[in-house]
């Protein structure tokens, strides 16, 4: 039996539902994975181009000193580079799988990035709107953006991994 | 623009203080005011019990002195392969009671160092850079490792080594550039 897979991304303009969306990061630190997020961010899919941004100052971790340290020049340097940004150059969909190629800007540096994940077909929501979901992940190397803080473990190995996984769970609502 | 010098050595004939004194003319030539902080020896050992009551006296003075300037130049000797306790204690006071309130938060800083050994306090400088960055400062990369300090100053305490003088000038320029970046676009948005 053959099935026909959807290969199109939704057309038109779709804006972020910020309440029901999250973005964050996961990075190997010492013996486990440390995660954090950003509370202020935006995303839009318009005419086949996906764009997103996040305010560095809205970084969410459990310790206020750590949140401040993450905003300092040791990490994101929020004073000089207040936003993280992404813009797609190509979107490919096969069934519910999606791949988004584009460029991500962190701490003033822009690098190519490949995002992979899943997409849902648009559904009617209870508020009279139409929305679809994206669950996305990308791995970046933080030293490429000058986010190179580290501390050695007693073994001499670095405590904090250079590879960071960026994660987004997004709901986008059709704009009329 | 105002720049504060902080020497990690308290002794009267300190080579690190002499190194800071040498930079005064460089800052002044660039139109910046430069002063060396006096009063590090008055700081008590860091005590959070004292800090939470609202720091006064020597602690309030050094925090205000750092807040009021545009940049800080640290000169450190090296004790037991690291930062002198008196200087680390000062950074601890400056960085607390919380990182959000750190007097060093976002402050452009540079580190130089002098020692009578051949290595010029490079370990102390590396440790101090790490500590300052953790305290939220904007640490410039440049380094001056002035080894065999007893041979590098004349009888009047003036630097007599032109290659070291060039390195010092570079660090001063980097610190000034950090206060006023050439690319204002980097500061936009």
Between residues B186 and A96, which one has the greater pLDDT? Answer: A96
Walk me through the domains of chain A, giving residue ranges and CATH numbers.
Answer: 27-174 (2.40.128.110)
The two tokens of residue B38 are: 């006096």
pLDDT of residue B157: 85
- pLDDT digits 0-9 by tens, B72-100: 999 999 999 999 999 999 999 999 988 99
pLDDT of residue A8: 86
Q: What percent of chain A has pLDDT over 90?
A: 95
pLDDT of residue B182: 62
**B6 interface with A at CB cutoff 8 Å:** no
**Alpha-carbon span A164 to B144, nearest angstrom:** 34
**B21 interface with A at CB cutoff 8 Å:** no
Counted across chains A and B, CB pairs separated by less than 8 A come out at 40
**Alpha-carbon span A28 to A167, nearest angstrom:** 14
Interface of B with A in 52-111 (CB under 8 A): 98-100, 102, 105-106
pLDDT of residue B52: 72
Distances (CA, A) of B48 to A83, B97, B98, B99: 35, 8, 11, 14
Contacts with A82 from chain B: Cβ below 8 Å? 189
Task: Collect all residues with Cβ–Cβ distance below 8 Å to B161 and sequence separation of at least 6.
Answer: B146, B152
- Type and span of the H or E element at A71: helix A64-71
pLDDT tier, A5 (very low <50, low <70, confident <90, very high otherwise): low
The overall average pLDDT reported for chain A is: 95
| Positive or negative torsion for Cα A9, A10, A13, A18 | negative
pLDDT of residue A2: 53
- Note whether B134 contacts A73, CB cutoff 8 Å: no
pLDDT beyond 60 at A159? yes
Contacts with A69 from chain B: Cβ below 8 Å? 99, 134, 136
Contacts with B102 from chain A: Cβ below 8 Å? 68
- pLDDT digits 0-9 by tens, B133-182: 999 999 999 889 999 999 999 988 889 999 999 999 999 999 999 998 76
pLDDT tier, A4 (very low <50, low <70, confident <90, very high otherwise): low
pLDDT tier, B51 (very low <50, low <70, confident <90, very high otherwise): confident
Nearest CA-CA distance, residue B162 and chain A, Å: 32
pLDDT of residue A1: 52
pLDDT beyond 80 at A85? yes
pLDDT beyond 90 at B65? yes
pLDDT of residue A110: 98
Closest CA to A95 of A167, A9, A153, A30: A9
pLDDT beyond 90 at A166? yes
Between residues A7 and B107, which one has the greater pLDDT? Answer: B107
pLDDT tier, B20 (very low <50, low <70, confident <90, very high otherwise): very high
Nearest CA-CA distance, residue B13 and chain A, Å: 35
pLDDT of residue B180: 82
Residue A147 CA neighbour count, 13 Å, CB half: 27
pLDDT of residue A176: 87
- pLDDT digits 0-9 by tens, A122-155: 999 999 999 999 999 999 999 999 999 999 999 9
Residue B186: closest C-alpha in chain A? A80
pLDDT beyond 50 at B186? no
Task: Count CB-CB contacts under 10 A for residue B77.
Answer: 23
pLDDT tier, B188 (very low <50, low <70, confident <90, very high otherwise): very low
**Alpha-carbon span B133 to A73, nearest angstrom:** 7
- DSSP conformation class of A57: G
Stretch A105-131: mean pLDDT: 97
Task: Collect all residues with Cβ–Cβ distance below 8 Å to B29 and sequence separation of at least 6.
Answer: none
∠ CA A169-A170-A173, rounded to 5°: 165
Q: Where are the beta strands (DSSP E) in B55-148?
A: 71-76, 108-114, 138-139, 145-146
Q: A63, A64, A69: which to substitute to probe chain B, counting the most B Cβ within 10 Å? A: A69
Of B100, B106, B187, nearest to A64 by CB-CB distance is: B100
pLDDT of residue B155: 85
**Alpha-carbon span B23 to B20, nearest angstrom:** 5
């Amino acid at each position: 039996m053959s099935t026909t897979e959807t290969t199109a991304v939704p057309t038109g303009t779709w804006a972020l539902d910020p309440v029901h969306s999250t973005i964050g990061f996961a990075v190997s630190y010492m013996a486990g994975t440390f995660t954090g997020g950003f509370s202020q961010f935006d995303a839009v899919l318009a005419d086949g181009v996906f764009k997103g941004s996040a305010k560095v100052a809205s970084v969410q971790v459990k310790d206020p000193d750590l949140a401040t340290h993450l905003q300092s020049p040791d990490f994101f340097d929020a004073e000089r580079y207040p936003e993280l940004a992404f813009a797609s150059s190509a979107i490919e969909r096969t069934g519910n799988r999606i791949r988004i190629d584009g460029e991500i800007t962190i701490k003033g540096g822009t690098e190519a990035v490949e995002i992979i994940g899943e997409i849902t077909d648009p559904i009617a929501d209870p508020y009279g709107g139409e929305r679809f979901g994206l669950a996305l992940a990308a791995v970046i190397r933080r030293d490429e953006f000058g986010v190179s803080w580290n501390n050695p473990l007693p073994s001499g190995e670095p405590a904090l991994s250079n590879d960071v996984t960026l994660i987004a769970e997004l709901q986008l609502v059709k704009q009329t | 623009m105002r720049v504060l010098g902080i020497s990690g050595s308290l002794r009267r004939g300190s080579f690190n203080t002499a190194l800071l004194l040498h930079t005064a003319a460089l800052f002044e030539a660039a139109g910046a005011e430069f002063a060396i902080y006096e009063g590090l020896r008055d700081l008590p050992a860091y005590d959070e019990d004292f800090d939470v009551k609202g720091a006064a006296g020597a602690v309030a003075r050094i925090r205000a002195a750092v807040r009021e300037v545009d940049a800080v130049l640290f000169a450190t000797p090296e004790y037991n392969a690291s930062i002198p306790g008196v200087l680390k204690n000062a950074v601890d006071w400056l960085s607390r009671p919380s990182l959000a309130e750190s007097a060093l938060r976002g402050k452009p800083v540079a580190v130089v160092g002098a020692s009578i050994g051949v290595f010029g306090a490079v370990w102390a400088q590396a440790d101090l850079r790490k500590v300052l960055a953790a305290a939220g400062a904007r640490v410039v990369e440049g380094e001056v490792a002035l080894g065999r300090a007893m041979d590098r100053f004349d009888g009047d305490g003036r630097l007599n080594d032109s290659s070291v003088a060039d390195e010092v000038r570079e660090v001063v320029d980097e610190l000034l550039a950090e206060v006023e970046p050439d690319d204002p676009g980097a500061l936009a948005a």
